[in-house]
Structure 1
Amino acid sequence: MEVVNDNSCSWINDLVPRNDVKSIQSDENCDWIIIGAGYTGLSAARKLGQLHPNQKIILIDAQLAGEGASSRNSGYLVDTTLNDGFTSNKELENYKKKANIYELGIQVVKKFIKEYQVDCDWNECGKFFASSNANDERILTNFSETLTKLGFEHNLFFNSELKKRLGTSFYNIALNTKGGILLHPGKLVRAMIDTLPENVQLFENTSLLKWEATNDKVKCYFKNGTIHSQKIIFATNGFLKSLGIKKNYNFPLTLTASMTRSLSNEEFKSIGEPKEWGVLPVRPMGATIRMTKDKRILIRNTAEVHNPLKMSKMDLDKRSFKQKIGIKKRFPQLPDDIIQSSWSGIVSRTRNSSQIFEKIDTNVFVAGCYNGSGIGVGTLFGEQIAIKASNEHTKEIETIETRHKPTWLLPQPFLDIGIKSRLIYERFRAKNEI
């Protein structure tokens, strides 16, 4: 699995390049090996380092640590999600279970930031679920009733008030939830790299070629060496399926996003000088939009079945053009050439929007499939899968294990046909929201 590093993501380009990158160059022995150095893998490594200070932990990533989906997401630390369709009392209970996991995710990230004094542009401003379609008022009203029953603080806003808050008259209705947090994902994951315990050895640009497990040993093969370990934790999220992990229960989707340069003072005044905000779509394939702390606009309005390892420049340019249209629809007064960078990233999905968190063999553990909530849930699951793999137990694990388990997926080619058909349908329903 060869994954390509690139310099197309603004979040990553905001950071000072690291100069301490090492790759596997010889055979190694260790007590623990973790595959994947995003939020989950870094969190797992940090917790294992704390639990087992005298044991050797190796953390592996196929590209630069933290520069996959962890740095490429939109920077939402979510408290609630909309497109789950919970209405009955039984479904409300399931929604509450999911929201409890989100809350635990927020708390574990807060704890990390406080403990290590991390600057990641943390902003507890909440988020908006917004639509330009007045008919979506019914969806948001029903969602408001759900949130009220569960005790989540929120407010409904309409066009004139939204224009003041967002700087655009595009949206007709929105629901704002108070518990969501906006942050800079690249800064957060870089801090996780910089604070790894001393007994964690990080190897990057090191692709796992093959692995095998017996009752007392795990063997991982790489281009320039083999690692023997007592236990393994897979934390590769969107690449779980390609490594053969729970392959009948998860699938990757490729998302693309663009970010503008910082708006000039005149441009910012022309949209009313709004405070930082984040909008998620009411309809699943609508656009995610952010106004960042430094007056940049981020937009993500594509999700598709695509080769997860690389997107060509030509393909990326086509998607960037759609994002240019999305920005112009919302901010027609801004220049046409305002987009500074565009990038792709991989998320992992399950059929029923649940997460993977389990022991799959005597010494093999896995956590992943965050369905778009990877900052908080990924960090939480990394910490807790390390605890579970250490044969310890916590109340957090109890909460995680009450969730619905991922459901079985159709085999190929039926799976891809089904996913593509659903995406086409959702894209049509949200065609005015790109």
Structure 2
Amino acid sequence: MYVATKFPKNSSRSAWVEMLPPRKPGLSLNGAVIADVAIIGAGFAGLSAARRLSQLDPTLRVAVLEAGVVGEGATGRNSGFIIDLPHEVSSEDFGDTSTERARRDITLYRTAISLATDMAKEYGWGREIIDPCGRFSVAISQKGDSHIVNYARQLQGLGESHQLLDAKGIYDVTGSRIYTSGLYMPGTVMVQPAAYIRAVADSLRSPVTLYENSPVQSFEKQSGNWLLKTANGSVTAKRVILANNGHAQSFGLFRGKMLHVFTYASMTESFDPNRLSGKRDWAATPALPMGTTVRRVSGVDGDRILIRSRYSYHAGLEINEGHVRSAGRVHDSKFADRFPDLAGVKMQYRWGGPMALTWNSVPIFGEIEQGLFAACACNGLGASKSTAAGIAAAEAALGVKSQLVEIFSNYDSPKNLPPQPFLSIGAKADLKLREWRAGRE
């Protein structure tokens, strides 16, 4: 029997959730249910798995169990980048191995994008939910400029569309004079993550059923099936997909395999769009790893700027308001540096969100026991990687042989992490070192 020792706990609410109308309470599990497949978690991975299962077999009875309210967990704390290209094609060289790895990653990411864009077309979602606007990589230093030029060269080698921008070119986009160069990549799709995942959830049709506010307390194998228990009900299913990322460890699974890191974001109050030149909707990732992600979001009441930076390690899968406030002070400084024309504009929302990493940056995927499948350890880029993992887990659960399943199945096994307290000491030191290397970026 796998018994949960803790459940997801959020210390703050993200801007994405706060800017939406309150969600109408969904169905909670009450009583005994029989399903063909049970999915634990209704984020990017879980709902993508449900979507794919219904595509493969519309008669499948699927029960999706979400501990809280859809959109209020880790997915709704994402920055909304469903990227199509890896941040790094190669860290050192551009040999055959790195090219093959890059093409593998691109296949994963574009499969995720296809699921999102196909749903947008099917259900008529607008740009307030999903926007195929592409993304920019931006630099504010000579080191960042060099990285962008090298990365553009690698993209050219892959035959991928991109556009290099000088300081004036990126200023015309962002309205910020701090940026010294930029690189535009048109394939990224941006989402309002809370609105997107709500829309995916609300698109599910019988015999797929979503149960919100229904945390799984335990699950065990009984007579060839899996029995999942919640406070007020149970699900009996032949197959189970674990789509709860780091919280799979709360059931005692994957001990010593996952590193729990939180990243933080702040979003401004609305401001008059005329105060800042440039485009009204754009999204930029930093040229250097661990730098600052920035996104401008337009709205009927004005525009907002999102700043995301800072990372912290928390073995207990929880942060508090103090961690959020500490990161917020860094965000305020980053915002002031980049947008002096917006002096006086305050941050209205601040939040943090979890990532589950492995030592060797591989997912935890596949059939770990008969009928028990994992789609965990996103290693960052959750919107892209978790979506792809959910699709692949659904295919694997039904015995479908696909390119996506093959890619996930061919990853190395996750390496064991060092024991405590060495893990905590090393993880915290490594994060600080990486942030220091990113500098002003």
Output the TM-score relative to the length of structure 2: 0.90
Structure 2: gaps (5+ residues): 1-5
Residue deviations 1:268-323, cap 9 Å, x none?
Answer: 33321424211111222211100113321001111111266543333322222221
The 3 A distance-change label for structure 1 pair 103 and 41 is same
Aligned to 2:245, which of 237, 250, 254? 237
Q: 1:150 matched to which residue of 2?
A: 158
The 3 A distance-change label for structure 1 pair 37 and 308 is farther
CA contact (8 A) 1:109 1:379 kept: no
Matched residue of 2:341: which SS?
Answer: coil
Q: 2:28 matched to which residue of 1?
A: 23
CA contact (8 A) 1:58 1:201 kept: yes
Alignment of 1:89 onto 2:96? yes
- Provide the aligned length of Structure 1 versus Structure 2: 430
Structure 1: gaps (5+ residues): none
Q: 2:369 matched to which residue of 1?
A: 361
Residue deviations 1:352-380, cap 9 Å, x none?
Answer: 33323211111100112222222233223
Matched residues in 2 for 1:302 and 1:249: separation?
A: 23
Give 1:266-415 correspondences, 5 Å limit. 268-294=273-299, 295-306=303-314, 309-403=317-411, 405-415=413-423
| Greater Cα offset, 63-72 or 114-123 | 114-123
The residue type paired with residue 341 of structure 2 is Q
Alignment of 1:127 onto 2:115? no
The 3 A distance-change label for structure 1 pair 318 and 16 is same
Shift of 1:403: 4.7
Alignment of 1:430 onto 2:438? yes
Matched residues in 2 for 1:21 and 1:6: separation?
A: 22
Matched residues in 2 for 1:386 and 1:101: separation?
A: 14
CA contact (8 A) 1:368 1:378 kept: yes
Matched residues in 2 for 1:117 and 1:32: separation?
A: 28
Shift of 1:187: 1.8
CA contact (8 A) 1:260 1:341 kept: yes
Matched residues in 2 for 1:397 and 1:341: separation?
A: 39
The residue type paired with residue 80 of structure 2 is G
The residue type paired with residue 38 of structure 2 is I
Q: 1:104 matched to which residue of 2?
A: 111
Matched residues in 2 for 1:27 and 1:309: separation?
A: 30
The residue type paired with residue 342 of structure 1 is R
The residue type paired with residue 118 of structure 2 is K
Q: 1:40 matched to which residue of 2?
A: 45
Q: 1:137 matched to which residue of 2?
A: 145
Computed over aligned residues only, the root mean square deviation of the Cα atoms, in angstroms, reads 2.3
Matched residues in 2 for 1:59 and 1:85: separation?
A: 39
CA contact (8 A) 1:328 1:336 kept: no
CA contact (8 A) 1:126 1:179 kept: yes
Calculate percent identity across the aligned residue pairs: 29
Shift of 1:258: 0.8
CA contact (8 A) 1:80 1:99 kept: yes
The 3 A distance-change label for structure 1 pair 149 and 419 is same
The 3 A distance-change label for structure 1 pair 75 and 418 is same
Residue deviations 1:192-217, cap 9 Å, x none?
Answer: 11111211222222223333236712
Q: 1:418 matched to which residue of 2?
A: 426
Aligned to 2:121, which of 110, 114, 117? 114
CA contact (8 A) 2:13 2:72 kept: no
The 3 A distance-change label for structure 1 pair 428 and 302 is same
Shift of 1:86: 5.4
The 3 A distance-change label for structure 1 pair 138 and 214 is farther
The residue type paired with residue 114 of structure 1 is K
| Greater Cα offset, 122-131 or 70-79 | 122-131
Matched residues in 2 for 1:242 and 1:63: separation?
A: 16
CA contact (8 A) 2:360 2:415 kept: yes
CA contact (8 A) 1:94 1:403 kept: no
Aligned to 1:204, which of 208, 212, 216? 212
Shift of 1:235: 0.2
Shift of 1:52: 4.2
Shift of 1:174: 2.2
Aligned to 1:216, which of 224, 228, 239? 224
Matched residue of 2:109: which SS?
Answer: helix
CA contact (8 A) 1:240 1:247 kept: no
Matched residue of 1:269: which SS?
Answer: helix
CA contact (8 A) 2:12 2:352 kept: no
Matched residues in 1 for 2:261 and 2:54: separation?
A: 32
The 3 A distance-change label for structure 1 pair 86 and 293 is farther
Alignment of 1:166 onto 2:174? yes
The 3 A distance-change label for structure 1 pair 428 and 19 is same
The residue type paired with residue 42 of structure 1 is L
The 3 A distance-change label for structure 1 pair 53 and 97 is closer
CA contact (8 A) 2:171 2:177 kept: yes
The 3 A distance-change label for structure 1 pair 86 and 192 is farther
